[in-house]
Amino acid sequence: MRTFTVTIGLIGVLASHAAFAQEPAPGGATQPPPAEAPPPPPAVAAPGTTMGAPTPFGAAGPTGPSVWGVLPWGGYGMGARYMMPLPISPLLTRTKFRDYWALEFGADILRFGYDYGGGTTAYSYNWTEIIPVVGMMWQFWINDSFAVYPKVELGYAFGWYSGANGSTAGLSCGNRIFPDGTAGLLYKLGNGITLRAEAGYVGGKAGVAWLF
């Protein structure tokens, strides 16, 4: 009987110790849950760029050749240009548009016809000229496919007369410094192929460019 009583007493002591171990420490607080990680900061555009602006040719701008036909006033011709980006900061840094600065150089060959007088005093002649030029343009890209631009060029026209019957004194054209100003547009088709057109002092130009 004494053994039974001792056994019951030991069981009671062990049970009270177990209950005491499960109770929180006096004055202690429960451990708070871990704090949630803060949200990432909003994306910020790099200096000189615009969030959401079209990027048809990356950050630098287009490079490549163009060829076109020319319809000058009173003549016809053809020409070619090569476009290179200029390291000038864009102007439209706070808009949804993109702009680039570019240098273009190349040449046009033009032929003009002139008719004067009537009857027995009528005469005519032609003037053919080659114009090496260099110019600067500012491209305003409305979206990834379409842009407009103004451009100024400066060159030197030199050439020759035909059908002038010897004397060329007093005839129109001739060798001269050749300034030009144009307004144009670019329409990007894909794979580098871009349609372009210009109108200005010389007349109208339309052709195709391979820009990358």
pLDDT for 55 beyond 80: no
Instruction: Quote the percentage of the chain above a pLDDT of 90.
Output: 56
pLDDT at 74: 87
Stretch 13-35: mean pLDDT, rounded? Answer: 55
> Which of 173 and 199 is assigned the larger pLDDT?
199
Determine the pLDDT at residue 4.
46
Contacts (Cβ under 8 Å, ≥6 apart) of 188? 56, 144, 145, 146, 147, 194, 211
CA 157 to chain centroid, in Å, comes to 31
Give exposure, 142-176, as e/b (b: 16+ Cβ within 10 Å). Answer: eeeeebebebebebebebebeebeeeeeeeebeee
Rg value, the chain, Cα: 40
Q: What are phi and psi of 167, to 5 degrees?
A: -80, 135
Alpha carbon distances (Å) from 162 to 87, 99, 167, 172 = 44, 44, 11, 12
Distance CA 211, CA 193 (A): 6
Mean pLDDT of the 164-180 span = 86
- Ranking 105-109, 121-125, 141-145 by mean pLDDT, the lowest is 121-125
What is the four-CA torsion angle of 54, 45, 104, 198, rounded to 10 degrees?
A: 30
Mean of pLDDT values over 2-9: 50
pLDDT at 137: 98
Angle at Cα 122 formed by Cα 76 and Cα 74, nearest 5°? 15
The pLDDT assigned to 83 comes to: 98
pLDDT of residue 102: 98
Average pLDDT, the chain: 83
Q: Kindly state the DSSP code that residue 15 receives in the 8-state scheme.
A: H
Residue from 68, 106, 72 nearest 197 by CA: 68
Work out the average pLDDT over 95-99.
93
Band of residue 51 on the pLDDT scale cut at 50, 70, 90: low
122 or 155, higher pLDDT: 155
pLDDT category at 14 given cuts 50, 70, 90 is: very low
**How many other CB atoms are there within 10 angstroms of residue 2's CB atom?**
6
Give yes or no for a contact between 186 and 146, defined as CB atoms under 8 angstroms apart.
yes
pLDDT for 196 beyond 90: yes
